[in-house]
Amino acid sequence: MSVQAQAASLTEQRVNKKKPDEADIIVGRQIQAIRMRARVSREWLGDRLGITFQQVQKYENATNRITVGRLCDIARVLEVPLMRFFEGVPAVAPTPDGMQEGEGAGWIGSETLSADEARLLDRFRDVGDPNVRRMLLDLADTLASADRKQKRNFRQ
């Protein structure tokens, strides 16, 4: 698809400018997940940005669209790369060989990571010892297997 065709398609999708699109929602969720992972409140973030906690909440819920400048400020305050907020946005997700568009970083199948999933992944990446990583994976497999068994028994 040409750049002009993509631009026309995006324009058509934004007929209702009041309604947030998928990218707005994903970026808002990323702001919230990163803020929560940093264990800071909306009030704390708002104070550092010079805005109210309600405005931070509106950004997180995609009630208000966020400017690139404000997103840069949030990245600086939370000490994360700017592109971290765009993980999971199909238009900017990497498309390595064998992957469909939208299945890049931040995506599991067709869903973005929840705050808990992203936190778990961050903690896993912090573990440097390959043996400990293997043990964590074994533990996760055991817990998931037990949960599946319990669900099967419950249904019977």
Torsion from C-alpha of 84, 86, 89, 91, nearest 10 degrees: -120
Give me the mean pLDDT over the 124-153 stretch. 85
105 pLDDT higher than 90? no
Whole-number pLDDT of residue 122? 80
Of residues 90 and 78, more confidence is placed in 78
Report the predicted TM-score, pTM, of the whole model to 2 decimal places.
0.53
Residue 94 structure tokens: 């990497």
Least confident of 12-21, 63-72, 94-103, 133-142: 94-103
